[in-house]
C-alpha cells in the first residue's frame, strides 16, 4: 500500500514500541566514579531532550525521555559505596587479581551494574564472579562455572 494512504498517527505505534529500560531489582551500589557518571549522563540527556523538543523530533524525544526516566531512577536509588581501607576480604569497590590452574590471570574491579564493562576490567557486583569472590581473602579459591580461581591479590584502590 502507498504511504499516501496511511494515517499520520501510524508513527505513534513505532513510539509505543520503544518501551521502558528495565531497572534492576538488585541494590544499586555504585562507586563514586559511577555516581559521577550517572550525574553526567543525566546532564547529557537533559540537554538532548531540550534539543529534540526544539526540533520536534518525536522519536528522539521518546528515546531521550525514556533514558532520562531510567537514569533518574538509578540516581534516586544509588548507594555510593567505597571499600573499607585495610579490609582482608573482598568487598564491593575492590580490585581483585585471580589466577586459574593453568596460570591465567584476571584482574577485576567490582563495581555497580551500570558501571560494569569487562573490556575495561570491571564487573558488576551481582555477577557470578563477584558473588563468588565476596567475603574471600588472598589465598582463597572461588569457583565459577566449575572453574577454580585463586585470589592472588586485592586492593581497595583502582
Q: Domain of 123: which CATH number? A: 3.10.50.30
State residue 157's pLDDT score.
74
Q: Are 73 and 105 found together in one domain?
A: no
Is 60 exceeded by the pLDDT of residue 10? no
State residue 4's pLDDT score.
52
pLDDT tens-digit map of 96-107: 999 999 999 999
Total-model pTM: 0.84
Q: Are 53 and 62 in contact (CB under 8 A)?
A: no
Query: Would you say residue 135 lies in a domain?
Result: yes
pLDDT tens-digit map of 115-141: 999 999 999 999 999 999 999 999 999
Query: Would you say residue 115 lies in a domain?
Result: yes
The range of the structural domain enclosing residue 70 comes to: 26-81
Query: Would you say residue 1 lies in a domain?
Result: no
Please give the order of strands across the beta sheet that includes 105-111.
Answer: 122-124, 105-111, 95-99, 147-155, 141-144
pLDDT tens-digit map of 15-26: 557 889 999 999
State residue 18's pLDDT score.
82
Q: In 7-152, where does DSSP find H-type helix?
A: 11-16, 32-55, 58-77, 128-133
Query: Would you say residue 13 lies in a domain?
Result: no
Q: Are 110 and 149 found together in one domain?
A: yes
Query: Would you say residue 122 lies in a domain?
Result: yes
Query: Would you say residue 88 lies in a domain?
Result: no
Number of domains in the chain: 2
Amino acid at each position: 500500500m502507498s504511504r499516501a494512504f496511511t494515517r499520520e498517527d501510524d508513527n505513534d505505534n513505532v513510539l509505543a514500541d520503544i518501551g521502558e529500560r528495565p531497572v534492576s531489582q538488585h541494590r544499586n551500589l555504585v562507586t563514586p566514579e559511577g555516581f559521577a557518571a550517572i550525574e553526567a549522563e543525566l546532564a547529557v540527556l537533559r540537554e538532548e531532550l531540550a534539543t529534540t523538543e526544539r526540533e520536534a523530533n518525536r522519536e528522539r524525544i521518546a528515546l531521550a525521555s525514556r533514558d532520562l526516566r531510567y537514569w533518574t531512577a538509578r540516581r534516586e536509588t544509588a548507594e555510593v559505596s567505597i571499600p573499607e581501607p585495610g579490609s582482608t576480604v573482598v568487598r564491593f569497590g575492590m580490585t581483585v587479581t585471580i589466577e586459574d590452574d593453568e596460570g591465567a590471570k584476571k584482574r577485576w574491579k567490582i563495581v555497580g551494574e551500570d558501571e560494569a564493562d569487562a573490556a575495561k576490567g570491571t564487573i558488576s557486583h551481582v555477577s557470578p564472579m563477584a558473588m563468588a569472590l565476596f567475603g574471600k581473602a588472598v589465598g582463597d579459591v572461588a569457583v565459577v562455572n566449575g572453574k577454580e580461581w585463586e585470589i592472588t591479590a586485592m586492593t581497595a584502590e583502582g
